[in-house]
Chains A and B, each alone.
Chain A
């Protein structure tokens, strides 16, 4: 039973489109995250969210927005996709923020043509 699951695993789309990546965790964690693995394979934090507070990495374009229908889900919406958005996006969750270990999803590879 997967603890943190992301869908889709692969997404190929055209520039200018709007797309979403879904993330669900069944660990009962109260904090979820989105990370982007950049071209140099670095993991860059995009958002940190719990039921009280959204923290946004200020370098993330406002075309990216997290949406959390409930504590177990944090979806990533991307508007007006650009070529540079092509990357692997990882969802993660933790108990609390900072001191609890992160549990990662398997990643979603987005390719923008």
Chain B
């Protein structure tokens, strides 16, 4: 069983605040690290898939970094908006096998 942990479990921020959360994963047999955004009553949607140590990816106000040697990834949201409220999931893939998801970080942005 692979251990993929996310912190914090939940986070409340004010509109306009920037925030970040962490995903930690096993540093051996790394293949890919995924980030997903999961809104209530919908299904998860992919944000990023990262495969190389040092990868940085950006989509609008959301960006992610990857450190495969130490086994962590950060997701950053700049200038949070209420529509950013969702659960953010990371998922780890080792050597091309099945994706193991972390427990998610639930973000709530107050107007």
Contacts and interface: CB of A to CB of B under 8 A. Distances in A.
Interface residues of B, number: 24
B93 A48 contact: no
A41 B91 CA distance: 14
B42 A106 contact: yes
Interface stretch (B18-26, B78-86, B97-105): B97-105
Contact of A98 (B31, B36, B45, B103): B31
Interface residues of A, number: 24
A99 B89 contact: no
Given A98-B93, A102-B44, A104-B43, A33 B34 contact: no
Interface string A36-67: 00001111110010000001010100000000
Interface of A: 33, 35, 40-45, 48, 55, 57, 59, 90, 97-107
